[in-house]
């Protein structure tokens, strides 16, 4: 009988380049479980605690730390060492009074230290939306999360105000929508992919051609220094309305 399913192990050499591991120190590394973030855009929790935060030296110690329920992801206690954390996830360690948000830099994903009050919410980008049988609208976010918006008539634009690639600010762990940020000119945005990954600034213009998908439109971003750079809308993540609602790492 042939082998079923994917491999449960991962060698260090083909692991994502931004993982902070020594490629030739050993052969194997941890492989995150299938989940809300794909492997090329995720950080397994074991790697976060061991290599990035230094709270454990071995995988056994990581499991011991997690077994006590001291680590939370998006407001929920997480005890699985292979749990995949990704873009905008909030990792909390209340016992040490440490809170982190997973954000992109020019080298890939990293942990950005945040204040306690900022750890009480996260941002989710609307990747798709579905009208349910009863007429309610279901938002499908970038992290696999689904949020149902109850409306009386989904065809009324004043009730269905959410568009794909917009951003919602949700409370943790309740998942209540606190704010809604549209992808429009003038909005602050973070670039989450491509050669300009990690850069952030204000959306100056969005150039869309006829018959072109919205995610393939060209967006121009201007940072605080006045420098401008372009990327596709697919890589643009709105992080506020007239101001940025999360702290962001400085760009070199």
List of domains in the chain: 10-86 (3.10.290.10), 120-180 (2.40.50.740), 188-238 (2.30.30.30)
pLDDT of residue 130: 87
pLDDT of residue 208: 81
CA–CA gap between residue 60 and residue 62 (Å, rounded)? 5
pLDDT of residue 81: 95
pLDDT of residue 3: 60
pLDDT of residue 122: 96
CB 100 within 8 Å of CB 118? no
pLDDT tens per residue, the chain (252 residues)? Answer: 556 666 778 899 999 999 998 888 889 999 999 888 999 999 999 999 999 999 999 999 999 999 999 999 999 999 999 999 999 999 999 999 999 999 999 989 999 999 999 999 999 999 999 888 777 889 999 999 999 988 776 566 556 788 999 999 999 999 999 999 999 999 999 999 999 999 999 999 999 888 788 888 999 999 999 999 999 999 999 999 989 999 998 876
Task: Output the CA torsion 38→245→227→219 (10° steps).
Answer: 60
Enumerate the β-bridge partners of residue 138: 130, 148
Q: What is the chain's length?
A: 252
């Amino acid at each position: 009988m042939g082998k079923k399913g994917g491999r449960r192990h991962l060698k260090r050499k083909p692991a994502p380049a931004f993982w902070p591991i020594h490629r030739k120190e050993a052969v194997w590394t941890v492989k995150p479980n299938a989940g809300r973030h794909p492997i090329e855009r995720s950080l397994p929790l074991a790697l976060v605690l061991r290599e990035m935060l230094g709270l454990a030296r071995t995988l056994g110690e990581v499991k011991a730390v997690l077994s006590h329920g001291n680590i939370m992801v998006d407001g929920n206690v997480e005890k699985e060492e292979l749990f995949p954390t990704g873009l905008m996830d909030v990792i909390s360690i209340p016992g040490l009074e440490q809170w982190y948000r997973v954000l992109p830099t020019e080298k890939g994903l990293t942990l950005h230290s945040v204040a306690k009050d900022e750890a009480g919410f996260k941002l989710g980008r609307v990747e798709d939306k579905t009208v349910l049988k009863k007429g309610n609208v279901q938002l499908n976010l970038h992290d696999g999360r689904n949020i149902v918006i109850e409306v009386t008539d989904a065809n009324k634009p004043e009730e269905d105000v959410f568009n794909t690639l917009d951003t919602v600010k949700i409370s943790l762990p309740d998942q209540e929508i606190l704010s809604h940020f549209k992808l429009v000119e003038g909005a602050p945005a973070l670039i989450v992919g491509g050669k300009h990954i990690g850069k952030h600034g204000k959306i100056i213009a969005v150039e869309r051609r006829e018959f072109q998908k919205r995610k393939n439109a060209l967006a121009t971003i201007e940072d605080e220094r006045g420098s401008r750079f372009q990327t596709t809308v697919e890589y643009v993540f709105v992080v506020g309305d007239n101001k940025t609602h999360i702290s962001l790492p400085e760009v070199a």
